[in-house]
Amino acid sequence: MNHLIPQLGHESMMHLQNGNLLEAEKSLSKILKIDPNEINALKLYGYVLTQKKNLRGAINTLNKALKLTPKDPELLFNIAKAYFDIKEFDQAINLYRQFITLSGNKYEVFLDIGSAYSALSKFQDAINYLDKAIEIDKNNSAAYNNKANILSKTGRYEEALKTIEQAILLSPDGAIAWNNKCDILLKMQNFDDALIAAKISLEFNPNLIEAYVNLGNTLIAMKRYNEGIKIYQEIIKLEPGNSQNWIHLANALIPLKRYEDALRNIDRALTININLCHTKGVRLYLLALLCNWNSTYSTSISKLNEEKDVIKDFSSPFPLLALVDKPELHRKIATLFSQEKFPINNTLGPILKNENGKIRIAYFSADFRNHPIGFLSAELYELHDRSKFEVFGFYFGPRAQDEIHQRISKSFDHFIDATNMSDESIARLSRDFQIDIAIDLGGYTQDSRTGIFAYRTAPIQVGYLGYLGTSGASYFDYLISDKILTPPSFDIYFSEKLIRLHSYQINDRKRIVSEKIFTKSSLGLSEDTFVFCCLNASYKITPDIFIAWIEILKEVKDSVLLLLADNPTATSNLHRFANSRGVNENRIIFVEKLAPADYLARYRAADLFLDTFPYNAGTTASDALWAGLPVLTLSGKSFASRIAASALTAIDLPELITTSVAEYQSKAIELSENASMLAHIKNKLRENKLNTRLFDSPGFAKNLENAFSKIYLNLRNGSPPESISVN
């Protein structure tokens, strides 16, 4: 041995003890120049490089040492740890296993292997190794913490909660564990306890950003929007360079209709990271809500029609319904969305066929209240034949005591307030009730709970009413439709099998139109003015349809267009757009929302309802027809673009269905100029109102029950779901 090596070795150790990594590295380098295979120098040099965060260099150095002593447990452990830290998890797992073979069980090794498998999305392998870590040391909270996170990721929230509580029991002041508990409780819809957990986490570590984020998320989930917004604003002050913080703030502003503020925050997020997945889709939706049809909007719509970048730009399929008439794209996005957000969850095991005397059907909704779905469906639950069906209602919407909520809650044989229950708990309860057919009334709309159905609530799962398109999810067996909405050639656009009823939309015949008189003069108009109207939400108004309305107003000189005042910016933008196209903004009149009965009565002041495209009026079209106002629609290929055509067919007014913008404009002008033709249609509407399918609620209920009986019999016979028509 060269006599300098011991001296240099001693120097390097002294430098290390004094924390002088640079001088230690110099001494070790000299040794390795003299003898590249000096094992102790290689080990120490690898350690120095690790301390300097040069993990790749450390791995190269330690691997040289390992070739010299391939069964050295210390080397195997240190190299595995370095691979783990640079997120090369397969390599780390392989070396850790070799370490176990040589040295036996070690808590830290099993902990890291479990974490590595989790990062590789091999969750059961991860749990197996974390369980081994727990067997070695039952008093260390880290493995419980990691296991709880994995259980939460895989939707096993009740197990996750028990596991994280064990971690907290072992380490009561662990801020990260309390924050993880908050996250789990959030997913379980237990917002009160989640709020407590977030606050405790911050008490133990006031600097834990993740706990602040979860505190904000909890407040938003509780619909305490202003409080949540303040939390997000504080987070941004602490961490302005994190694009996700700006997105959180934007999402909190949207429910308050602060769309412009939300848009500014989305833009800030995109400034930080232009490649943020899904965010451009949210931005486009905000532009639609604001009727801000700028160059970005136009470019984005072109990309959608060409199907460029849509996968990474769109997080939710819902906005697409109002932007493009492309059912093939709707299915593609819905499928990806369901797989990413609500994958199949087998926690509850396979579901069994039930043996009940009656068919047990259950409706699941966040909208059993003053909401379009509540208004449409209230009578349906009252009409079901109790000699054949037992009817359940699962409600998980906002706290409500309005008249519709009270009426609906009393109309079920069993009404379950599931607001604070987790998806898993609701699915388990549905199984306990032995539900045969579960009907989701929400789809991908606000406050919906698609995750419930990923657990499989019943042997048959059906989508209806709330979301006008396919779920894209394999666990929905059927989608309710009719032959107008989905002709047989449209089956390819749906992941579900289709139940084609004689008409699609249920309606409530008990809806009251107030006696209040709304006249044209009450709108500041002469009685000779022709009033077109459309009271759809602003995001449904597209440039193409608004241009068509402008052209109609140009042709019909003494006419106005009545629109809903959705938000001030949309109002301003539409007025500006009308002016730029040669129509005075005074001819575009915006009206505020009214109480339901007065809202229906106001339709009497109008002459013709002009529908939107590609997202038609649904409930709004039925409202107008119920109030006696004809609806002119433009029908396309997508489910959402054919919903008004379905209603008009069901009330025998097919002459109000058009299939091109030119025909739509021409028909609107013709009806405004031909008083006798319009009067004939209004008379026909009046005569047909209670003599056709659209408002025949008892007939609809029987038709739906026949469909339920057919698909139930099909299940009993052991046959897979098949599309059916029920007339």
pLDDT at residue 4 tops 80: no
The answer to whether 148 and 141 have CB atoms below 8 angstroms apart is no
Q: Do strands 478-482 and 657-658 pair parallel, antiparallel, or not at all (unpaired)?
A: unpaired
- Estimate the share of the chain in helix, then strand, then coil, as percent rounded to the nearest 5: 60, 10, 35
pLDDT in tens, 39-83: 888 888 788 888 888 999 889 998 998 899 999 999 999 999 999
Predicted local confidence at residue 3, as pLDDT: 61
Tell me how far apart the terminal alpha carbons of the chain are, to the nearest angstrom. Answer: 97
* Average pLDDT score over residue span 317-329: 95
The answer to whether 78 and 60 have CB atoms below 8 angstroms apart is no
- State phi, psi for 694 to the nearest 5 degrees: -60, -45
pLDDT in tens, 260-302: 999 999 999 999 998 887 888 899 999 999 999 999 899 989 9
What is the distance between the alpha carbons of residues 250 and 243, in angstroms, rounded to a whole number?
11
DSSP 8-state class, residue 723: -
What is the distance between the alpha carbons of residues 74 and 66, in angstroms, rounded to a whole number?
10
What is the distance between the alpha carbons of residues 494 and 496, in angstroms, rounded to a whole number?
5
In this structure, of 30-39, 125-134, 218-227, the range with the lowest mean pLDDT score is 30-39
CB atoms within 10 A of CB 622: 26
pLDDT at residue 135 tops 70: yes
The answer to whether 143 and 159 have CB atoms below 8 angstroms apart is no
Predicted local confidence at residue 25, as pLDDT: 80
The answer to whether 397 and 373 have CB atoms below 8 angstroms apart is no
pLDDT at residue 314 tops 80: no
Beta bridge partners of 657: 633
Predicted local confidence at residue 10, as pLDDT: 78
pLDDT at residue 8 tops 80: no
Percent of the chain with pLDDT over 70: 99
Predicted local confidence at residue 2, as pLDDT: 53
pLDDT in tens, 616-656: 999 999 999 999 999 999 999 999 999 999 999 999 999 99
Length of the chain: 727
pLDDT averaged over every residue in the chain:
94
In this structure, of 34-38, 248-252, 505-509, the range with the lowest mean pLDDT score is 34-38
Q: For residue 461, what are the CA distances in angstroms to 17, 155, 496, 708?
A: 67, 19, 10, 11
pLDDT at residue 522 tops 90: no
pLDDT at residue 659 tops 80: yes
pLDDT in tens, 550-595: 999 999 999 999 999 999 999 999 999 999 999 999 999 999 999 9
pLDDT in tens, 453-493: 999 999 999 999 999 999 999 999 999 999 999 999 999 99
Single-letter amino acid, residue 395: Y
Percent of the chain with pLDDT over 90: 85
Predicted local confidence at residue 126, as pLDDT: 97
Question: pLDDT tier at 33 (50, 70, 90 boundaries)?
Answer: confident
pLDDT at residue 217 tops 60: yes
Predicted local confidence at residue 437, as pLDDT: 98
R_g of the chain computed on alpha carbons: 32
The answer to whether 357 and 373 have CB atoms below 8 angstroms apart is no
Q: For residue 688, what are the CA distances in angstroms to 648, 655, 678?
A: 11, 14, 15
Domains in the chain (CATH in brackets) are 4-201 (1.25.40.10), 359-501 (3.40.50.11380), 528-694 (3.40.50.2000)
Structure tokens at 289: 């809500």
pLDDT in tens, 661-670: 999 999 999 9
Give which of 330, 333, 239 is closest to 277, Cα–Cα: 333
Burial class (CB in 10 A: 0-12, 13-18, 19+), 389: buried
* Average pLDDT score over residue span 193-207: 97
What is the distance between the alpha carbons of residues 108 and 130, in angstroms, rounded to a whole number?
10
Give which of 384, 385, 363 is closest to 374, Cα–Cα: 363
DSSP class per residue in 519-549: -SGGGT--TTSEEEEE-S-GGG--HHHHHHH
pLDDT at residue 38 tops 90: no
Question: pLDDT tier at 723 (50, 70, 90 boundaries)?
Answer: very high
Q: CA 196, 118, 208: angle at the middle one, nearest 5?
A: 35
pLDDT in tens, 685-717: 999 999 999 999 999 999 999 999 999 999 999
